[in-house]
Amino acid sequence: MSKEEAELKKRTEELRKRVRIGEKSTIQEYIEALTERILILEKSRKMPQRQLEFTQKKLDDIQKRIKTIDDEIALAREEQAKHFTLKLEKGEKTILKEIKKG
C-alpha cells in the first residue's frame, strides 16, 4: 500500500467516525452522510467568515485613521519647517529649545 493510499484510508476512516457510518453501511448511506456533513460544515463556516469580514472592516477603518493622523503629522512638520525657515530668512534668532518642542 502506497503512502497516498494509506493516507486516503486513514481519512476515510476518520470521516466514517465523524458521520457515524459503520463498516456495513452502503456506499449510498456513506455519500448521504458525507453530503449532510458538508452542509453542516458550510453552515458552521458562515459565522467565522462574518467575523473575519467584520474584523477586516474594523482593521481598514483603523488603518484609515492612522493614515489620516500620519498625514496630519507630515503637514504639521512641513508647516513647522516653513516657520523656522522663514524665521531664519528674516534673521530672527531661534532658540534650540523652541525647535525641540516642535
DSSP the chain: --HHHHHHHHHHHHHHHHHT--TT--HHHHHHHHHHHHHHHHHHHHHHHHHHHHHHHHHHHHHHHHHHHHHHHHHHHHHHHHHHHHHHHHT----HHHHHH-
| Mean pLDDT, the chain, integer | 82
Report for 6-15, 44-53, 68-77, 86-95: range of highest mean pLDDT: 68-77
* Cβ atoms < 10 Å from Cβ of 95: 8
Give the model's pLDDT for residue 23. 72
Q: Which of 5-14, 29-38, 52-61 has the lowest mean pLDDT?
A: 5-14
Q: Is the pLDDT of residue 102 over 60?
A: no
- Determine the straight-line distance between the first and last CA of the chain, rounded to whole angstroms: 74
- For the segment 62-72, the average pLDDT, to the nearest whole number, is 97
CA distance 85 to 89: 6
* Per-residue pLDDT tens over the stretch 13-48: 777 677 777 777 788 887 888 888 888 888 888 888
Instruction: Give the pLDDT of residue 35.
Output: 85
